[in-house]
């Protein structure tokens, strides 16, 4: 990967839904010298989450659009990918998450950070026994 003036330590490619207004400002607020984040939007035409079928349609949209988002962000010669949403990374439990990560890493040739894997790492590290979940999903 090429080095640039601001991302001389690491450049992250962040994949987020086009409807999301939080991930990008959050990443920018956490940046440290030498590390930059570069957004790639996953085009979402219908963000209805009112029922299970709508959620499945959302996942189909993500799966249809994510590879194009990866292609776009890779033109910035990023070093690592970050999934800036949780739905696809938790869907299907641990096996679904592993399959998703494998698909993205195989396609992109880059490592991928996900919320689900980060949660598992933290839970294991701190030996957490009980978890409470608040989610916008059904």
- 70 Cβ contact list (under 8 Å, min separation 6): 13, 15, 40, 81, 104, 107, 108
Please give the pLDDT value at position 138.
Answer: 57
Give the single-character DSSP code of 8: S
Separation between Cα atoms, residue 70 and residue 81, nearest integer Å? 8
137 pLDDT higher than 70? no
Please give the pLDDT value at position 35.
Answer: 95
Regarding beta strands 10-17 and 35-42, do their DSSP bridges make them parallel or antiparallel, or are they unpaired?
parallel
Structural domains of the chain sorted by starting position, each given as residue range(s) with its CATH number in brackets: 10-125 (3.40.50.12500)
1 pLDDT higher than 70? no
- 74 Cβ contact list (under 8 Å, min separation 6): 13, 108, 110
Reported as a single tens digit per residue, the pLDDT across 82-94 is: 999 877 777 788 8
Reported as a single tens digit per residue, the pLDDT across 35-73 is: 999 999 999 988 888 888 988 888 899 999 999 999 999
Please give the pLDDT value at position 43.
Answer: 95
The predicted model scores a pTM of 0.85
96 pLDDT higher than 70? yes
Q: What is the per-residue burial (b if ≥16 Cβ within 10 Å, else e) of 117-131? A: bebeeeeeeeeeeee
Separation between Cα atoms, residue 61 and residue 17, nearest integer Å? 10
């Amino acid at each position: 990967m090429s080095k640039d003036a601001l991302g001389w330590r690491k450049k992250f490619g962040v994949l987020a839904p086009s409807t999301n207004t939080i991930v990008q400002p959050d990443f920018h607020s956490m940046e440290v010298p030498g590390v930059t984040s570069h957004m790639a939007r996953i085009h979402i035409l219908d963000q209805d989450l009112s029922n299970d079928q709508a959620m499945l349609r959302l996942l189909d949209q993500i799966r249809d659009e994510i590879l194009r988002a990866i292609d776009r962000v890779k033109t910035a010669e990023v070093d690592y990918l970050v999934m800036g949403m949780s739905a696809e990374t938790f869907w299907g439990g641990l096996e679904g998450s592993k399959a998703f990560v494998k698909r993205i890493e195989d396609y992109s040739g880059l490592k991928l950070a996900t919320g689900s894997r980060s949660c598992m790492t933290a839970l294991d590290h701190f030996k957490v026994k009980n978890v409470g979940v608040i989610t916008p999903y059904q």
